[in-house]
Amino acid sequence: MRARLTPLHIVAALAALVAVTPLVYLVVRTGSAGWETVWEILARPRTLQLSVASLGLATAVAGTCIAVGVPLAWLLTRTALPGGRLWLVVAALPLAVPSYVAAYTWLAAFPGIRGFFPAWMVLSLVSLPYVVLPVAAVLSQVDPAFDEVARTLGDGPLRSFRRTTAPLLWPAAAAGGLLTALYTLSDFGAVSLLRFDTFTRVIYTSYRAAFDRTSAAVLSLVLVALALVFVLLERAMRSRHQQWRVGAGAARRAQRIPLGPWRWPALAGVIALFGLAVAFPGVMLVRLMLQSQRFEADPGAWLAATGNTVQAAGIGAIVALALALPIGVLAARHSDRVTKSIESAAFISHALPGVVVGLSLVYLGLSIAPALYQTLAMLGFAYAVLFLSNAIGSIRSATAQVSRNLEDVARTLGDRPTTTWWRVTARLSAPGILAGALLVLVTAMKELPATLMLRPTGFETLATEMWTFTTVGSFSQAAPYAFGLVVLAAIPAFLLARLTGRRS
């Protein structure tokens, strides 16, 4: 049976095409090498070994983030945890800690740590928000009526949760897990410092040590294949669950569950977790700063870098949102093959290391739009390609939560589909859409390799300034820029927490 294609399909397909532009470059580079070279690179024993290592690490980090992130999101949104919504703000902050900064601070405290375990821990801590934020967004919107009906029908609280709330959470949790897995696949900072060999580390090595663009391109295509494994896995997990409300009217706000004596251990757990993820790197940076003999404050440079970061990441977030909206909405409302392919394609670039996306845009940018080369527009575009997938999942989950009946009513009253979306769906799914934009914003703020290649010459962001100092071993001078990132990230996080908590 052929699926009926709507205009939305076409818009979303165009957006997905934009997102996969790096693949064009990779195929060109690989194609110019000839099969023999390609095969020789693929047949290296290291290639298989690294695939296993990368898959293993990504699975472990994603699994951990789901296992810890879902209960955490529940604690933060549905219970009377002391501190209330403040914790939701804090929950987004680990995203602002670049993985290499986190890794460096752990290494400074415990010299000699290396390998899988520390890499797993550091990456899990920094990517926890990928799961917590979307799950919290869904939890704060779930209609308590479901649970109440189940309870009336005789279900206990746990059984009711499993049968009513959990199915709604799964899509968000799986989507978050996917982002975590892809982020882990693409990470270079933490694994290189903590000396765990992954695919991405070897792709960097191809460029850095051998100036070998062919190997890097071939290996990047393998990485794309690994990413597809996770994309399909997530889809399989998600497809088992019904995803929309059918009841009439809007959902009511759920009551927060009193935790009684359990609130103190719960609070301790939450504090410990965020302490490790945010406070620990912060304290270590302060220590390194105090130790330093060459620390000089440069407020001018700091302010300029902060402004530049907001500007570049902001443009990136807007472009990403524009691309992610049609894809996310389509994925929430259709389940045909075309939709699935569009959605999967949009996620792939997220697994590519920044250096690969950067170089591909150097190549494509100069051949297609030389006038835009090394301008803010192109940098924003690069961010959108890299982080678009951060927005898709939460847009999809949030849209799926909006009852189709509401849309149908609007249509019956004569609204066109786009008007319906704007007047009904967009407003009800706004927290999810904003969560997506927030994720893009904070991850784009700390992006480094593509920024170095595509920013306007002389345009410094917090991440590039931080890099300037870390390459000469001066973490003290890098610290103010690291703090800048966390402070900047706190602003959108605060906005998100307000939106998430204010439903009525």
Partner 1 sequence: MIKAGGAIALAAVAVLGLSACSSGDGADPTQEAAEFVVYSGRSEELVGPLIEQFETATGVQTEVRYGDTAELAAQLLEEGENSPADVFFAQDAGALQVVQDEGLTTALPTAVVDKVPAKFRSADDQWVGTSGRARVIVYNTELVPADEVPKTVFELTDPKWEGQVGIAPTNASFQAFVTAMRVTVGEERTKQWLEGLIANDVQTFENNLAILDAVNAGAIEVGLANHYYWYEKAAEIGAENLKVRNAAFEAGDPGNLVNVAGVAILPTGADNPGSEQFVEFLLSDEAQQYFADVTAEYPLVKGVAARDDLPPLSQIDGPDLTLDQLADLRGTQDLLLQVGLL
Binding region for partner 1 (CB under 8 A) out of 68-76, 269-277, 405-413, 430-438: 430-438
Residues 20, 318, 369, 409: which binds partner 1 (CB under 8 A)?
Answer: 318
Q: Is 367 helix (H, G, I), strand (E, B) or coil?
A: helix
Q: Which is nearer to partner 1, 181 or 315 (CB)?
A: 315
Token pair 């951060």: residue:
390
Residues 281, 449, 480, 484: which binds partner 1 (CB under 8 A)?
Answer: 449
Cα(114)–Cα(117) distance, rounded to whole angstroms?
7
DSSP annotation of 119:
H
Q: Is 257 helix (H, G, I), strand (E, B) or coil?
A: strand
Instruction: Sketch the per residue contact string, 338 through 367, with partner 1: x for CB under 8 A, - otherwise.
Output: -----------------x--xx--xx--x-
Q: Which is nearer to partner 1, 14 or 369 (CB)?
A: 369
Instruction: Look up residue 257 and give its two tokens.
Output: 């569950």
Instruction: Sketch the per residue contact string, 104 through 143, with partner 1: x for CB under 8 A, - otherwise.
Output: ---xx--xx-------------------------------
Binding region for partner 1 (CB under 8 A) out of 177-185, 383-391, 405-413, 452-460: 452-460
Instruction: Sketch the per residue contact string, 375 through 404, with partner 1: x for CB under 8 A, - otherwise.
Output: xx----------------------------
Backbone angles phi, psi at 79, to 5 degrees: -120, 165
Q: Any contact of residue 46 with partner 1 (CB under 8 A)?
A: yes
CA distances to 125, 268, 278 from 272, rounded to whole Å, are 11, 6, 10
Q: Any contact of residue 495 with partner 1 (CB under 8 A)?
A: yes
Backbone angles phi, psi at 83, to 5 degrees: 105, -25
Instruction: Look up residue 424 and give its two tokens.
Output: 């009904």
Torsion sign (Cα): 132, 135, 140, 144:
negative
Q: Any contact of residue 464 with partner 1 (CB under 8 A)?
A: yes
How many residues are present in the chain? 504
Binding region for partner 1 (CB under 8 A) out of 13-21, 116-124, 157-165, 419-427: 419-427
Residues 78, 213, 245, 396: which binds partner 1 (CB under 8 A)?
Answer: 213
Closest contact distance (angstroms) between CB of 88 and partner 1 is 15
Q: Which is nearer to partner 1, 224 or 317 (CB)?
A: 317
Residues 237, 474, 490, 501: which binds partner 1 (CB under 8 A)?
Answer: 474
Q: Any contact of residue 499 with partner 1 (CB under 8 A)?
A: yes
Phi-psi region of 58 (alpha: psi -120 to 50; beta: other; left: phi over 0): alpha
- Please work out the total of residues on this chain that contact partner 1, with binding judged by CB under 8 A: 69
Cα(311)–Cα(360) distance, rounded to whole angstroms?
23
Cα(296)–Cα(478) distance, rounded to whole angstroms?
11
Instruction: Sketch the per residue contact string, 230 through 259, with partner 1: x for CB under 8 A, - otherwise.
Output: ------------------------------
Cα(250)–Cα(246) distance, rounded to whole angstroms?
10
Nearest to 362 by CA among 10, 115, 28: 28
Q: Which is nearer to partner 1, 133 or 317 (CB)?
A: 317
Q: Any contact of residue 195 with partner 1 (CB under 8 A)?
A: yes
Cα(127)–Cα(125) distance, rounded to whole angstroms?
6
Q: Which is nearer to partner 1, 72 or 194 (CB)?
A: 194
Cα(189)–Cα(122) distance, rounded to whole angstroms?
11
CB 7 within 8 A of CB 326: no
Closest contact distance (angstroms) between CB of 203 and partner 1 is 11
**Residue 367 CA to chain centroid, in angstroms?**
30
Residues with Cβ < 8 Å from 8, sequence gap 6 or more?
A: 326, 329, 330, 333, 334, 417
Q: Which is nearer to partner 1, 240 or 253 (CB)?
A: 253
Residues that bind partner 1 (CB under 8 A): 44, 46, 107-108, 111-112, 192-193, 195, 205, 207-211, 213, 291-294, 304, 307-308, 310-311, 314-315, 317-318, 321, 355, 358-359, 362-363, 366, 370, 373-376, 422, 426-428, 430-431, 433-434, 437, 449, 452-453, 456-459, 464, 468-469, 471-477, 495, 499
